[in-house]
Chain A
Protein backbone atom coordinates (compact mmCIF):
# COMPACT_ATOMS: atom_id res chain seq x y z
CA UNK A 1 0.00 0.00 0.00
CA UNK A 2 1.44 3.29 -1.04
CA UNK A 3 0.25 6.46 0.59
CA UNK A 4 -0.48 9.07 -2.02
CA UNK A 5 -2.29 12.35 -2.12
CA UNK A 6 -5.08 10.63 -3.96
CA UNK A 7 -5.69 8.07 -1.24
CA UNK A 8 -5.95 5.38 -3.92
CA UNK A 9 -3.69 2.37 -3.95
CA UNK A 10 -2.18 2.67 -7.39
CA UNK A 11 0.45 -0.02 -6.78
CA UNK A 12 0.55 -2.17 -9.90
CA UNK A 13 -1.65 -5.23 -9.62
CA UNK A 14 -2.27 -6.05 -13.26
CA UNK A 15 -4.22 -9.01 -14.48
CA UNK A 16 -7.04 -9.86 -16.86
CA UNK A 17 -10.44 -10.78 -15.51
CA UNK A 18 -11.76 -14.24 -16.44
CA UNK A 19 -13.04 -14.31 -20.04
CA UNK A 20 -16.60 -15.08 -18.91
CA UNK A 21 -16.69 -11.92 -16.78
CA UNK A 22 -15.26 -9.74 -19.54
CA UNK A 23 -17.72 -11.08 -22.11
CA UNK A 24 -20.67 -10.73 -19.72
CA UNK A 25 -19.73 -7.14 -18.89
CA UNK A 26 -19.30 -6.19 -22.55
CA UNK A 27 -22.51 -7.96 -23.58
CA UNK A 28 -24.47 -6.18 -20.84
CA UNK A 29 -23.04 -2.85 -22.00
CA UNK A 30 -24.03 -3.64 -25.60
CA UNK A 31 -27.59 -4.55 -24.56
CA UNK A 32 -27.92 -1.33 -22.55
CA UNK A 33 -26.59 0.59 -25.54
CA UNK A 34 -29.19 -0.96 -27.85
CA UNK A 35 -32.06 -0.36 -25.44
CA UNK A 36 -30.91 3.23 -24.86
CA UNK A 37 -30.91 4.03 -28.57
CA UNK A 38 -34.28 5.37 -29.69
CA UNK A 39 -33.78 4.78 -33.41
CA UNK A 40 -32.76 1.22 -32.66
CA UNK A 41 -35.86 0.59 -30.58
CA UNK A 42 -37.98 1.96 -33.39
CA UNK A 43 -36.40 -0.53 -35.75
CA UNK A 44 -36.31 -3.53 -33.45
CA UNK A 45 -39.57 -3.30 -31.51
CA UNK A 46 -41.91 -0.51 -32.56
CA UNK A 47 -41.99 -1.10 -36.34
CA UNK A 48 -42.35 -4.91 -36.02
CA UNK A 49 -45.17 -4.59 -33.47
CA UNK A 50 -46.95 -1.92 -35.54
CA UNK A 51 -46.74 -4.11 -38.66
CA UNK A 52 -48.05 -7.08 -36.70
CA UNK A 53 -50.98 -5.22 -35.18
CA UNK A 54 -51.74 -3.08 -38.22
CA UNK A 55 -51.81 -5.78 -40.86
CA UNK A 56 -53.57 -8.33 -38.67
CA UNK A 57 -56.42 -5.91 -37.91
CA UNK A 58 -56.73 -4.08 -41.26
CA UNK A 59 -57.67 -6.33 -44.18
CA UNK A 60 -55.50 -4.47 -46.70
CA UNK A 61 -53.41 -7.46 -47.72
CA UNK A 62 -54.50 -10.49 -49.64
CA UNK A 63 -52.89 -13.20 -47.54
CA UNK A 64 -52.64 -16.88 -48.47
CA UNK A 65 -53.47 -18.19 -44.99
CA UNK A 66 -56.98 -18.30 -43.63
CA UNK A 67 -55.92 -16.53 -40.42
CA UNK A 68 -53.92 -13.38 -41.05
CA UNK A 69 -52.07 -13.48 -37.72
CA UNK A 70 -50.71 -16.99 -38.42
CA UNK A 71 -49.13 -15.62 -41.59
CA UNK A 72 -47.89 -12.36 -40.08
CA UNK A 73 -46.35 -13.53 -36.77
CA UNK A 74 -43.55 -15.68 -38.32
CA UNK A 75 -42.75 -12.92 -40.83
CA UNK A 76 -42.49 -10.29 -38.12
CA UNK A 77 -40.29 -12.57 -36.00
CA UNK A 78 -37.94 -12.85 -38.98
CA UNK A 79 -38.01 -9.06 -39.37
CA UNK A 80 -37.09 -8.70 -35.69
CA UNK A 81 -34.03 -10.89 -36.17
CA UNK A 82 -32.98 -8.92 -39.23
CA UNK A 83 -33.45 -5.56 -37.47
CA UNK A 84 -31.24 -6.50 -34.54
CA UNK A 85 -28.62 -8.82 -36.03
CA UNK A 86 -28.23 -6.91 -39.29
CA UNK A 87 -29.42 -3.29 -39.24
CA UNK A 88 -28.83 -2.47 -35.59
CA UNK A 89 -25.56 -4.32 -35.30
CA UNK A 90 -24.17 -2.92 -38.55
CA UNK A 91 -24.93 0.69 -37.61
CA UNK A 92 -23.76 0.37 -34.01
CA UNK A 93 -20.53 -1.40 -34.96
CA UNK A 94 -19.86 1.01 -37.82
CA UNK A 95 -20.04 3.96 -35.46
CA UNK A 96 -17.99 2.16 -32.80
CA UNK A 97 -15.29 1.83 -35.40
CA UNK A 98 -15.63 5.51 -36.35
CA UNK A 99 -15.49 6.72 -32.72
CA UNK A 100 -12.42 4.62 -31.94
CA UNK A 101 -14.33 2.42 -29.50
CA UNK A 102 -13.17 -0.77 -31.19
CA UNK A 103 -9.61 0.55 -31.12
CA UNK A 104 -9.84 1.46 -27.42
CA UNK A 105 -11.35 -1.90 -26.53
CA UNK A 106 -8.42 -3.47 -28.38
CA UNK A 107 -6.15 -2.01 -25.70
CA UNK A 108 -8.06 -3.79 -22.91
CA UNK A 109 -7.66 -7.44 -21.92
CA UNK A 110 -10.89 -8.22 -23.83
CA UNK A 111 -9.77 -10.01 -26.99
CA UNK A 112 -11.38 -9.48 -30.38
CA UNK A 113 -12.85 -12.95 -30.14
CA UNK A 114 -14.25 -12.04 -26.74
CA UNK A 115 -15.73 -8.85 -28.16
CA UNK A 116 -17.42 -10.77 -30.97
CA UNK A 117 -18.76 -13.29 -28.46
CA UNK A 118 -20.17 -10.41 -26.40
CA UNK A 119 -21.78 -8.82 -29.45
CA UNK A 120 -23.39 -12.12 -30.40
CA UNK A 121 -24.66 -12.67 -26.86
CA UNK A 122 -26.08 -9.13 -26.80
CA UNK A 123 -27.85 -9.62 -30.13
CA UNK A 124 -29.37 -12.88 -28.91
CA UNK A 125 -30.45 -11.26 -25.64
CA UNK A 126 -32.21 -8.42 -27.46
CA UNK A 127 -33.80 -10.92 -29.84
CA UNK A 128 -35.11 -12.83 -26.85
CA UNK A 129 -36.82 -9.63 -25.66
CA UNK A 130 -38.22 -9.10 -29.17
CA UNK A 131 -39.53 -12.67 -29.38
CA UNK A 132 -41.25 -12.34 -26.01
CA UNK A 133 -42.89 -9.02 -26.96
CA UNK A 134 -43.86 -10.00 -30.52
CA UNK A 135 -45.08 -13.48 -29.55
CA UNK A 136 -47.03 -11.95 -26.64
CA UNK A 137 -48.74 -9.41 -28.90
CA UNK A 138 -49.39 -12.08 -31.56
CA UNK A 139 -50.88 -14.49 -29.02
CA UNK A 140 -53.09 -11.66 -27.83
CA UNK A 141 -54.23 -11.22 -31.43
CA UNK A 142 -55.18 -14.90 -31.59
CA UNK A 143 -51.97 -16.45 -32.98
CA UNK A 144 -51.91 -20.24 -32.71
CA UNK A 145 -48.36 -21.40 -33.46
CA UNK A 146 -47.85 -25.01 -34.62
CA UNK A 147 -44.71 -27.09 -34.92
CA UNK A 148 -41.60 -27.42 -32.82
CA UNK A 149 -40.40 -24.38 -30.90
CA UNK A 150 -36.87 -25.83 -31.10
CA UNK A 151 -37.03 -25.91 -34.88
CA UNK A 152 -38.17 -22.29 -34.83
CA UNK A 153 -35.38 -21.35 -32.42
CA UNK A 154 -32.81 -23.05 -34.64
CA UNK A 155 -34.05 -21.07 -37.64
CA UNK A 156 -33.87 -17.83 -35.64
CA UNK A 157 -30.28 -18.60 -34.60
CA UNK A 158 -29.24 -19.48 -38.13
CA UNK A 159 -30.89 -16.28 -39.35
CA UNK A 160 -29.00 -14.38 -36.65
CA UNK A 161 -25.70 -15.80 -37.87
CA UNK A 162 -26.51 -14.89 -41.49
CA UNK A 163 -27.62 -11.34 -40.71
CA UNK A 164 -24.77 -10.75 -38.24
CA UNK A 165 -22.28 -11.75 -40.92
CA UNK A 166 -23.82 -9.31 -43.41
CA UNK A 167 -23.99 -6.54 -40.81
CA UNK A 168 -20.39 -6.96 -39.67
CA UNK A 169 -19.21 -7.20 -43.28
CA UNK A 170 -20.74 -3.76 -43.93
CA UNK A 171 -19.62 -2.23 -40.62
CA UNK A 172 -16.04 -3.42 -41.01
CA UNK A 173 -15.49 -2.17 -44.54
CA UNK A 174 -17.69 0.89 -45.22
CA UNK A 175 -17.65 4.33 -43.66
CA UNK A 176 -20.05 4.71 -40.74
CA UNK A 177 -22.41 6.97 -42.71
CA UNK A 178 -22.46 4.58 -45.66
CA UNK A 179 -23.23 1.71 -43.29
CA UNK A 180 -26.04 3.73 -41.71
CA UNK A 181 -27.63 4.51 -45.08
CA UNK A 182 -26.98 1.09 -46.57
CA UNK A 183 -28.23 -0.89 -43.60
CA UNK A 184 -31.49 1.08 -43.47
CA UNK A 185 -31.98 0.74 -47.21
CA UNK A 186 -31.39 -3.01 -47.13
CA UNK A 187 -33.81 -3.27 -44.19
CA UNK A 188 -36.56 -1.52 -46.19
CA UNK A 189 -35.93 -3.49 -49.37
CA UNK A 190 -35.88 -6.83 -47.58
CA UNK A 191 -38.96 -5.84 -45.56
CA UNK A 192 -40.75 -5.18 -48.81
CA UNK A 193 -39.70 -8.17 -50.86
CA UNK A 194 -38.66 -10.84 -48.37
CA UNK A 195 -42.06 -12.23 -47.55
CA UNK A 196 -42.25 -10.45 -44.20
CA UNK A 197 -45.78 -9.06 -44.57
CA UNK A 198 -46.27 -9.17 -48.33
CA UNK A 199 -46.39 -12.79 -49.52
CA UNK A 200 -43.84 -13.78 -52.16
CA UNK A 201 -46.73 -15.21 -54.20
CA UNK A 202 -47.61 -11.62 -55.05
CA UNK A 203 -44.44 -11.43 -57.20
CA UNK A 204 -44.16 -12.82 -60.75
CA UNK A 205 -42.79 -16.36 -61.02
CA UNK A 206 -39.29 -15.44 -62.29
CA UNK A 207 -38.71 -12.75 -59.70
CA UNK A 208 -39.96 -14.98 -56.93
CA UNK A 209 -37.32 -17.60 -57.69
CA UNK A 210 -34.60 -15.01 -57.05
CA UNK A 211 -36.30 -13.51 -54.01
CA UNK A 212 -36.53 -16.93 -52.41
CA UNK A 213 -32.74 -17.05 -52.26
CA UNK A 214 -32.59 -13.98 -50.00
CA UNK A 215 -31.79 -14.69 -46.36
CA UNK A 216 -34.92 -12.90 -45.18
CA UNK A 217 -37.13 -14.97 -47.52
CA UNK A 218 -35.49 -18.17 -46.34
CA UNK A 219 -36.10 -17.17 -42.74
CA UNK A 220 -39.72 -16.07 -43.22
CA UNK A 221 -40.46 -19.14 -45.36
CA UNK A 222 -38.82 -21.51 -42.90
CA UNK A 223 -40.53 -19.99 -39.86
CA UNK A 224 -43.90 -20.09 -41.62
CA UNK A 225 -43.43 -23.71 -42.65
CA UNK A 226 -42.72 -24.64 -39.03
CA UNK A 227 -45.02 -22.30 -37.10
CA UNK A 228 -47.99 -22.01 -39.45
CA UNK A 229 -48.05 -25.50 -40.94
CA UNK A 230 -46.24 -27.51 -38.25
CA UNK A 231 -43.78 -28.83 -40.82
CA UNK A 232 -40.35 -30.25 -40.05
CA UNK A 233 -37.27 -28.08 -40.76
CA UNK A 234 -37.25 -27.47 -44.52
CA UNK A 235 -33.87 -28.53 -45.96
CA UNK A 236 -33.83 -25.95 -48.76
CA UNK A 237 -34.36 -23.11 -46.32
CA UNK A 238 -31.64 -24.40 -44.03
CA UNK A 239 -29.20 -24.60 -46.93
CA UNK A 240 -29.92 -21.02 -48.05
CA UNK A 241 -29.54 -19.66 -44.53
CA UNK A 242 -26.38 -21.67 -43.88
CA UNK A 243 -24.82 -20.32 -47.07
CA UNK A 244 -25.71 -16.76 -46.05
CA UNK A 245 -24.18 -17.41 -42.63
CA UNK A 246 -20.91 -18.91 -43.83
CA UNK A 247 -20.05 -16.58 -46.73
CA UNK A 248 -20.49 -13.14 -45.12
CA UNK A 249 -19.05 -14.22 -41.78
CA UNK A 250 -15.99 -15.62 -43.55
CA UNK A 251 -15.64 -12.47 -45.64
CA UNK A 252 -16.16 -10.22 -42.63
CA UNK A 253 -13.47 -12.08 -40.70
CA UNK A 254 -11.03 -11.42 -43.57
CA UNK A 255 -11.93 -7.83 -44.38
CA UNK A 256 -12.96 -6.28 -41.04
CA UNK A 257 -10.96 -3.13 -40.30
CA UNK A 258 -10.89 -2.26 -36.62
CA UNK A 259 -9.88 1.37 -37.12
Chain B
Protein backbone atom coordinates (compact mmCIF):
# COMPACT_ATOMS: atom_id res chain seq x y z
CA UNK B 1 0.00 0.00 0.00
CA UNK B 2 1.96 3.02 -1.22
CA UNK B 3 -0.20 5.41 0.78
CA UNK B 4 1.15 3.90 3.98
CA UNK B 5 4.78 4.32 3.08
CA UNK B 6 6.77 6.99 4.89
CA UNK B 7 7.67 10.19 3.08
CA UNK B 8 10.34 9.51 0.50
CA UNK B 9 13.60 11.10 1.35
CA UNK B 10 15.66 9.04 -0.91
CA UNK B 11 15.64 9.63 -4.65
CA UNK B 12 16.54 6.06 -5.58
CA UNK B 13 13.53 4.76 -3.67
CA UNK B 14 11.14 6.68 -5.85
CA UNK B 15 11.52 4.51 -8.89
CA UNK B 16 11.58 1.25 -6.94
CA UNK B 17 8.21 0.52 -5.48
CA UNK B 18 8.78 -3.19 -5.11
CA UNK B 19 8.00 -4.45 -1.59
CA UNK B 20 10.80 -4.90 0.93
CA UNK B 21 10.31 -8.65 0.73
CA UNK B 22 8.04 -10.66 -1.50
CA UNK B 23 7.83 -14.40 -0.92
CA UNK B 24 5.59 -16.68 -3.00
CA UNK B 25 5.10 -20.42 -2.49
CA UNK B 26 8.52 -20.76 -0.87
CA UNK B 27 9.72 -24.31 -0.21
CA UNK B 28 12.85 -25.33 1.69
CA UNK B 29 13.78 -28.93 2.48
CA UNK B 30 16.61 -30.40 4.53
CA UNK B 31 16.92 -33.99 3.43
CA UNK B 32 13.42 -35.42 3.89
CA UNK B 33 12.28 -32.75 6.34
CA UNK B 34 10.34 -29.85 4.88
CA UNK B 35 11.13 -26.69 6.85
CA UNK B 36 9.23 -24.24 4.65
CA UNK B 37 6.19 -25.55 2.86
CA UNK B 38 4.62 -23.13 0.40
CA UNK B 39 5.04 -19.91 2.38
CA UNK B 40 3.67 -16.73 0.87
CA UNK B 41 4.09 -13.30 2.43
CA UNK B 42 4.82 -9.69 1.57
CA UNK B 43 6.68 -7.23 3.79
CA UNK B 44 5.94 -3.62 2.94
CA UNK B 45 8.57 -0.95 2.55
CA UNK B 46 9.05 1.27 5.55
CA UNK B 47 7.08 -1.07 7.79
CA UNK B 48 8.02 -3.43 10.58
CA UNK B 49 7.02 -6.99 9.71
CA UNK B 50 7.18 -9.64 12.42
CA UNK B 51 7.37 -13.30 11.52
CA UNK B 52 5.96 -15.14 14.46
CA UNK B 53 6.00 -18.86 14.97
CA UNK B 54 6.86 -21.68 17.35
CA UNK B 55 10.32 -23.26 17.34
CA UNK B 56 10.90 -25.16 14.14
CA UNK B 57 8.15 -23.35 12.24
CA UNK B 58 10.57 -22.30 9.49
CA UNK B 59 11.30 -18.71 10.59
CA UNK B 60 15.07 -18.87 10.42
CA UNK B 61 15.10 -20.86 7.18
CA UNK B 62 12.86 -18.24 5.61
CA UNK B 63 14.92 -15.29 6.79
CA UNK B 64 18.21 -16.94 5.82
CA UNK B 65 16.89 -17.48 2.30
CA UNK B 66 16.01 -13.78 2.17
CA UNK B 67 19.52 -12.95 3.41
CA UNK B 68 21.06 -14.99 0.60
CA UNK B 69 22.61 -17.63 2.88
CA UNK B 70 20.43 -20.49 1.67
CA UNK B 71 18.79 -21.37 -1.60
CA UNK B 72 15.10 -22.01 -1.94
CA UNK B 73 14.00 -25.43 -3.21
CA UNK B 74 10.86 -23.94 -4.71
CA UNK B 75 8.87 -20.75 -5.10
CA UNK B 76 10.19 -17.24 -5.54
CA UNK B 77 11.77 -14.74 -3.18
CA UNK B 78 12.42 -11.10 -4.02
CA UNK B 79 14.24 -8.75 -1.67
CA UNK B 80 13.91 -5.08 -2.65
CA UNK B 81 12.73 -6.49 -5.97
CA UNK B 82 15.88 -8.53 -6.51
CA UNK B 83 16.99 -12.16 -6.29
CA UNK B 84 18.40 -12.54 -2.74
CA UNK B 85 21.63 -13.97 -4.18
CA UNK B 86 22.47 -10.63 -5.82
CA UNK B 87 25.64 -9.14 -4.35
CA UNK B 88 24.41 -5.56 -4.65
CA UNK B 89 21.90 -6.34 -1.90
CA UNK B 90 24.68 -6.82 0.66
CA UNK B 91 25.20 -3.07 0.90
CA UNK B 92 21.47 -2.32 1.03
CA UNK B 93 20.42 -4.95 3.55
CA UNK B 94 21.54 -5.23 7.19
CA UNK B 95 21.63 -8.64 8.82
CA UNK B 96 21.54 -9.81 12.42
CA UNK B 97 22.12 -13.54 12.80
CA UNK B 98 20.44 -15.46 15.60
CA UNK B 99 23.81 -15.99 17.25
CA UNK B 100 27.54 -15.77 16.70
CA UNK B 101 29.20 -14.35 13.63
CA UNK B 102 31.86 -12.38 15.51
CA UNK B 103 35.46 -13.52 16.14
CA UNK B 104 35.47 -14.40 19.88
CA UNK B 105 38.69 -12.53 20.68
CA UNK B 106 37.74 -9.34 18.85
CA UNK B 107 36.84 -6.34 21.03
CA UNK B 108 33.31 -4.98 20.56
CA UNK B 109 34.32 -1.64 19.10
CA UNK B 110 36.84 -3.18 16.73
CA UNK B 111 34.14 -5.44 15.24
CA UNK B 112 31.72 -2.58 14.77
CA UNK B 113 34.40 -0.40 13.25
CA UNK B 114 35.40 -3.19 10.87
CA UNK B 115 31.82 -3.68 9.67
CA UNK B 116 31.42 0.09 9.30
CA UNK B 117 34.47 0.21 7.01
CA UNK B 118 32.60 -1.95 4.48
CA UNK B 119 29.98 0.76 3.95
CA UNK B 120 30.23 4.04 2.11
CA UNK B 121 28.32 6.21 4.61
CA UNK B 122 28.23 4.33 7.91
CA UNK B 123 26.95 5.49 11.28
CA UNK B 124 29.50 6.41 13.92
CA UNK B 125 30.43 3.19 15.77
CA UNK B 126 30.89 4.98 19.08
CA UNK B 127 27.49 6.67 18.90
CA UNK B 128 25.86 3.33 18.21
CA UNK B 129 27.75 1.62 21.04
CA UNK B 130 26.59 4.38 23.38
CA UNK B 131 22.99 4.12 22.22
CA UNK B 132 22.92 0.38 22.89
CA UNK B 133 24.64 0.67 26.26
CA UNK B 134 27.89 -0.90 25.12
CA UNK B 135 30.20 2.11 25.51
CA UNK B 136 31.81 0.68 28.65
CA UNK B 137 32.45 -2.60 26.88
CA UNK B 138 34.04 -1.22 23.76
CA UNK B 139 37.34 -2.95 24.51
CA UNK B 140 35.80 -6.18 25.80
CA UNK B 141 36.41 -9.22 23.60
CA UNK B 142 33.19 -10.59 22.12
CA UNK B 143 33.42 -13.86 24.06
CA UNK B 144 33.51 -11.99 27.38
CA UNK B 145 30.33 -10.03 26.65
CA UNK B 146 27.12 -11.31 28.21
CA UNK B 147 24.58 -12.92 25.89
CA UNK B 148 22.52 -9.74 25.83
CA UNK B 149 25.54 -7.59 25.07
CA UNK B 150 26.51 -9.91 22.23
CA UNK B 151 22.98 -9.58 20.83
CA UNK B 152 23.14 -5.80 20.97
CA UNK B 153 26.51 -5.74 19.26
CA UNK B 154 25.08 -7.87 16.47
CA UNK B 155 22.12 -5.53 16.21
CA UNK B 156 24.48 -2.56 15.97
CA UNK B 157 26.43 -4.28 13.20
CA UNK B 158 23.19 -4.90 11.29
CA UNK B 159 22.30 -1.21 11.11
CA UNK B 160 25.70 0.51 10.98
CA UNK B 161 25.86 0.57 7.18
CA UNK B 162 22.60 2.59 7.02
CA UNK B 163 20.69 -0.10 5.11
CA UNK B 164 17.25 0.24 3.50
CA UNK B 165 16.13 -3.05 4.96
CA UNK B 166 17.22 -4.99 8.03
CA UNK B 167 16.61 -8.63 8.89
CA UNK B 168 16.68 -9.35 12.61
CA UNK B 169 16.53 -13.00 13.62
CA UNK B 170 15.16 -13.12 17.19
CA UNK B 171 16.74 -9.80 18.12
CA UNK B 172 15.65 -9.79 21.76
CA UNK B 173 15.93 -13.46 22.66
CA UNK B 174 17.49 -13.65 26.12
CA UNK B 175 17.67 -9.88 26.69
CA UNK B 176 16.82 -8.33 30.04
CA UNK B 177 13.94 -5.80 30.07
CA UNK B 178 16.19 -2.73 29.76
CA UNK B 179 18.02 -4.16 26.80
CA UNK B 180 14.75 -5.24 25.17
CA UNK B 181 13.43 -1.71 25.40
CA UNK B 182 16.65 -0.28 23.97
CA UNK B 183 16.31 -2.70 21.09
CA UNK B 184 12.65 -1.83 20.54
CA UNK B 185 13.45 1.89 20.58
CA UNK B 186 16.04 1.35 17.88
CA UNK B 187 13.58 -0.62 15.75
CA UNK B 188 11.01 2.19 16.12
CA UNK B 189 13.66 4.74 15.16
CA UNK B 190 14.59 2.68 12.11
CA UNK B 191 10.95 2.62 11.06
CA UNK B 192 10.60 6.37 11.64
CA UNK B 193 13.64 6.90 9.43
CA UNK B 194 12.00 4.90 6.63
CA UNK B 195 13.96 1.67 7.06
CA UNK B 196 12.06 -1.56 6.39
CA UNK B 197 12.42 -4.09 9.19
CA UNK B 198 11.69 -7.81 9.03
CA UNK B 199 12.15 -9.63 12.31
CA UNK B 200 11.43 -13.07 13.68
CA UNK B 201 10.33 -13.52 17.24
CA UNK B 202 8.40 -15.79 19.48
CA UNK B 203 7.60 -13.01 21.92
CA UNK B 204 3.99 -11.98 21.39
CA UNK B 205 4.35 -8.63 23.14
CA UNK B 206 7.27 -7.79 20.89
CA UNK B 207 5.23 -8.42 17.77
CA UNK B 208 2.21 -6.61 19.23
CA UNK B 209 4.21 -3.51 20.19
CA UNK B 210 6.55 -3.20 17.25
CA UNK B 211 4.99 -4.66 14.17
CA UNK B 212 2.82 -3.02 11.55
CA UNK B 213 2.22 -6.45 10.17
CA UNK B 214 2.39 -9.87 11.80
CA UNK B 215 2.73 -13.10 9.88
CA UNK B 216 2.18 -16.19 12.00
CA UNK B 217 3.82 -19.23 10.48
CA UNK B 218 3.54 -22.83 11.53
CA UNK B 219 4.87 -25.98 9.86
CA UNK B 220 6.43 -23.76 7.19
CA UNK B 221 3.22 -22.02 6.08
CA UNK B 222 1.57 -18.71 6.90
CA UNK B 223 -1.45 -19.41 9.08
CA UNK B 224 -2.39 -15.77 9.72
CA UNK B 225 -1.32 -12.44 8.36
CA UNK B 226 -2.34 -8.90 9.21
CA UNK B 227 -1.88 -5.99 11.61
CA UNK B 228 -1.82 -6.93 15.30
CA UNK B 229 -5.23 -5.25 15.72
CA UNK B 230 -6.81 -7.10 12.81
CA UNK B 231 -5.48 -10.41 14.11
CA UNK B 232 -6.67 -9.97 17.66
CA UNK B 233 -9.98 -8.54 16.42
CA UNK B 234 -12.07 -5.75 17.87
CA UNK B 235 -14.24 -8.19 19.81
CA UNK B 236 -13.89 -8.34 23.52
CA UNK B 237 -13.97 -11.40 25.67
CA UNK B 238 -15.09 -12.11 29.16
CA UNK B 239 -12.67 -14.32 31.05
CA UNK B 240 -12.75 -15.91 34.45
CA UNK B 241 -11.23 -18.77 36.38
CA UNK B 242 -13.25 -21.36 38.26
CA UNK B 243 -13.14 -25.05 39.05
CA UNK B 244 -12.63 -27.13 35.90
CA UNK B 245 -15.47 -28.95 34.17
CA UNK B 246 -18.38 -26.51 34.39
CA UNK B 247 -21.28 -27.41 32.09
CA UNK B 248 -20.91 -24.75 29.42
CA UNK B 249 -23.91 -25.91 27.40
CA UNK B 250 -26.13 -24.89 30.27
CA UNK B 251 -24.42 -21.50 30.45
CA UNK B 252 -24.74 -21.00 26.68
CA UNK B 253 -28.46 -21.60 26.88
CA UNK B 254 -28.74 -18.67 29.25
CA UNK B 255 -26.62 -16.35 27.06
CA UNK B 256 -27.84 -14.23 24.11
CA UNK B 257 -27.80 -16.02 20.75
CA UNK B 258 -24.43 -15.79 18.94
CA UNK B 259 -22.38 -16.13 22.11
CA UNK B 260 -19.63 -18.70 22.45
CA UNK B 261 -18.11 -20.22 25.56
CA UNK B 262 -15.08 -22.43 26.01
CA UNK B 263 -12.76 -23.77 28.65
CA UNK B 264 -9.12 -23.39 27.61
CA UNK B 265 -7.01 -24.50 29.41
CA UNK B 266 -8.81 -26.39 32.16
CA UNK B 267 -10.31 -24.02 34.72
CA UNK B 268 -9.95 -20.97 32.44
CA UNK B 269 -13.22 -19.88 30.83
CA UNK B 270 -13.62 -17.54 27.87
CA UNK B 271 -16.98 -16.14 26.77
CA UNK B 272 -17.21 -14.39 23.41
CA UNK B 273 -20.12 -12.48 21.93
CA UNK B 274 -21.86 -9.19 22.69
CA UNK B 275 -19.78 -8.53 25.78
CA UNK B 276 -21.73 -5.93 27.74
CA UNK B 277 -23.53 -5.40 31.06
CA UNK B 278 -26.23 -7.89 30.15
CA UNK B 279 -23.83 -10.71 29.35
CA UNK B 280 -21.76 -9.95 32.45
CA UNK B 281 -24.87 -10.07 34.62
CA UNK B 282 -26.01 -13.35 33.04
CA UNK B 283 -22.65 -15.02 33.61
CA UNK B 284 -22.29 -13.92 37.22
CA UNK B 285 -25.91 -14.89 37.98
CA UNK B 286 -25.33 -18.30 36.45
CA UNK B 287 -22.14 -18.74 38.50
CA UNK B 288 -24.04 -17.78 41.66
CA UNK B 289 -26.77 -20.31 40.86
CA UNK B 290 -24.11 -22.99 40.33
CA UNK B 291 -22.38 -22.09 43.59
CA UNK B 292 -19.21 -21.18 41.69
CA UNK B 293 -16.94 -18.24 42.50
CA UNK B 294 -15.59 -16.67 39.32
CA UNK B 295 -12.00 -15.56 40.00
CA UNK B 296 -10.01 -12.99 38.02
CA UNK B 297 -13.09 -12.02 36.09
CA UNK B 298 -12.13 -9.57 33.37
CA UNK B 299 -13.25 -8.14 30.06
CA UNK B 300 -10.49 -7.76 27.55
CA UNK B 301 -9.56 -8.03 23.94
CA UNK B 302 -7.97 -11.19 22.68
CA UNK B 303 -4.21 -10.95 22.79
CA UNK B 304 -1.88 -11.99 20.03
CA UNK B 305 -0.87 -14.85 22.28
CA UNK B 306 -4.47 -16.13 22.26
CA UNK B 307 -4.52 -15.98 18.48
CA UNK B 308 -1.14 -17.64 18.29
CA UNK B 309 -2.07 -20.53 20.57
CA UNK B 310 -5.39 -21.02 18.77
CA UNK B 311 -3.57 -21.27 15.47
CA UNK B 312 -0.49 -23.25 16.47
CA UNK B 313 -1.85 -25.38 19.28
CA UNK B 314 -0.62 -25.88 22.79
CA UNK B 315 1.59 -28.92 22.49
CA UNK B 316 5.26 -28.41 23.21
CA UNK B 317 7.81 -28.72 20.45
**A104 at the B interface (CB under 8 A):** yes
Bin the interface of chain A by size. 35 or more
Bin the interface of chain B by size. 35 or more
The residue in chain A whose Cβ has the minimal distance to the Cβ of B167 is A107
**A11 at the B interface (CB under 8 A):** yes
Contacts of B67 in A (CB 8 A): 107
Given contacts A25-B117, A29-B114, A33-B103, 6 further A-B contacts (CB under 8 A): A2-B193, A7-B131, A11-B194, A14-B162, A21-B117, A100-B99
Contact across chains for A14 and B102 when beta carbons are under 8 A apart: no
In the assembly, what is the distance between CA of A249 and CA of B79, in Å? 34
User: What 8 A-B pairs have minimum CB-CB distances, sorted nearest first?
Assistant: A104-B101, A15-B120, A25-B117, A10-B193, A100-B100, A4-B189, A107-B95, A16-B91
Contact across chains for A10 and B117 when beta carbons are under 8 A apart: no
Residue picked from A13, A101, A111, most chain B C-beta under 10 Å? A13
In the assembly, what is the distance between CA of A29 and CA of B124, in Å? 18
Taking a contact as CB atoms closer than 8 A, the residue among B69, B103, B188 that contacts A103 in the complex is B69
Q: Which residues of A contact B (CB under 8 A)?
A: 2, 4-17, 21-22, 25-26, 29, 32-33, 36-37, 96, 99-101, 103-104, 106-111, 259
**B185 at the A interface (CB under 8 A):** yes
Contact across chains for B131 and A14 when beta carbons are under 8 A apart: no
Contacts of B69 in A (CB 8 A): 103, 106-107, 259
Contacts of B163 in A (CB 8 A): 12, 14
Known: A107-B68, A110-B118. A6 touches B101 (CB 8 A): no
- B contact face: mostly helix, strand, loop, or mixed: loop
Taking a contact as CB atoms closer than 8 A, the residue among A21, A33, A99 that contacts B101 in the complex is A99
In the assembly, what is the distance between CA of A107 and CA of B161, in Å? 12
20 CB contacts below 8 A, A to B, read A4-B193, A11-B194, A12-B10, A12-B162, A12-B194, A13-B10, A13-B121, A14-B120, A16-B120, A17-B120, A22-B117, A26-B114, A29-B114, A37-B105, A100-B100, A104-B97, A104-B102, A106-B69, A107-B95, A108-B115
